[in-house]
């Protein structure tokens, strides 16, 4: 948490007192900088994640995300009281369906997304039964404490996903959300925004003109991408409004022509 930053510092955001812990009930909950249903997203919260509520007014809860400390306003209808169920697994694919019964012929009743915590209560053939009585295909989950090893491979699962400012799921994701969610699946917590990720102490700073390596994070002002090889980069971009993998040199030249030069490279 950066002291004095209203995105993560409760005092700087005008929050005080003891927060009330709540849990995200919706598959995805929008977190906004202001309590405005038509305002832009600041971030997204996943089903089962905790949210510390400091204040509630006009149908909005003002507080802080338990996953990364990001502060904002969440619709009150997307939250619920914490349950006694303790998460045992996490969703390991970009998305998976929730079924009312352990059969693929049943119509799904919902969907959950990568890094969503779930509580497995039993097994039903190829499916597992969750504590809420719904079912998920067993191979779509991973036990908590069993992170993926290759965050680049995780990030590549989002290839062609639509771009969404503040998004963090395959339904819509932005550049820093892609980095954060891929690293979270690998057990590595990083901040939400690209400037925060660039400023984080973790990782070795690399000369932008040095030989690039797979997994390097490349930062521009307001943007970040992931090198998938020394000559290719994966990023969620406003340029095409989707996640793309493209030649690194061509992208770097395009941004440089627009007055955007690399500000840093981090090697995790």
41 Cβ contact partners less than 8 Å away, ≥ 6 residues apart = 30, 31, 32, 164, 165, 166, 167
What integer pLDDT is reported at residue 201 of this predicted model? 76
For a pLDDT cut of 70, what percent of the chain falls above it? 100
The residue behind tokens 């997307």 is 78
Q: What is the pLDDT of residues 158-202, one digit of tens each?
A: 999 999 999 999 999 999 999 999 999 999 999 999 999 999 877
Confidence of residue 1 (pLDDT cuts 50, 70, 90): low
The whole-angstrom separation of Cα 217 and Cα 188 is 14
> Is the pLDDT at 27 greater than 60, yes or no?
yes
Cβ atoms within 10 Å, residue 165: 14
Q: What is the pLDDT of residues 98-147, one digit of tens each?
A: 999 999 999 999 999 999 999 999 999 999 999 999 999 999 999 999 99
Confidence of residue 71 (pLDDT cuts 50, 70, 90): very high
Domains, the chain: 20-80 (2.30.30.40), 89-143 (2.30.30.40), 151-267 (3.90.1720.10)
The reply to whether the predicted model has a pTM over 0.85 is yes
**30 strand-pairing partners:** 44
Buried b (16+ CB within 10 A) or exposed e, 18-31: ebbebbbebbbbbb
Q: ∠ at Cα 91 (96, 108), nearest 5°?
A: 25
Helix (H) or strand (E) holding 201: none
Q: What is the pLDDT of residues 207-231, one digit of tens each?
A: 999 999 999 999 999 999 999 999 9
Q: How far is CA 123 from CA 83, 87, 127, 147, in A?
A: 21, 16, 6, 22
């Amino acid at each position: 948490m950066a002291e004095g930053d209203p995105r993560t510092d409760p005092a700087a955001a005008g929050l005080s007192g003891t927060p009330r812990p709540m849990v995200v009930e919706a598959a995805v909950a929008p977190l906004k900088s202001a309590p405005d249903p038509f305002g832009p997203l600041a971030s997204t919260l996943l089903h089962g994640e905790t949210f510390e509520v400091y204040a509630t007014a006009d149908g909005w809860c003002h507080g802080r995300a338990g996953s990364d400390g990001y502060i904002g306003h969440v619709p009150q209808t997307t939250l619920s009281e914490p349950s006694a169920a303790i998460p045992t697994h996490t969703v390991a694919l970009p998305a998976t369906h929730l079924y009312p019964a352990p059969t693929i012929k049943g119509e799904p009743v919902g969907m959950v997304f990568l890094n969503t915590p779930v509580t497995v209560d039993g097994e039903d053939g190829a499916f597992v039964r969750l504590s809420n009585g719904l079912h998920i295909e067993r191979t779509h989950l991973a036990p908590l404490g069993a992170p993926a090893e290759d965050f680049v491979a995780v990030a590549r699962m989002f290839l062609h996903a639509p771009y969404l400012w503040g998004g963090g799921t395959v339904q819509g994701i932005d550049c820093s959300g892609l980095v954060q969610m891929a690293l979270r699946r690998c057990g590595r917590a990083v901040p939400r925004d690209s400037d925060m990720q660039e400023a984080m102490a973790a990782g070795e700073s690399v000369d932008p003109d040095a030989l690039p390596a797979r997994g390097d994070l490349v930062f521009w002002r307001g943007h970040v991408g992931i090198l998938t090889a020394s000559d290719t980069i994966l990023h969620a971009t406003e340029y095409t409004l989707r996640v793309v993998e493209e030649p690194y040199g061509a992208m770097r030249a395009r941004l440089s022509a627009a007055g955007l030069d690399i500000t840093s490279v981090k090697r995790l």
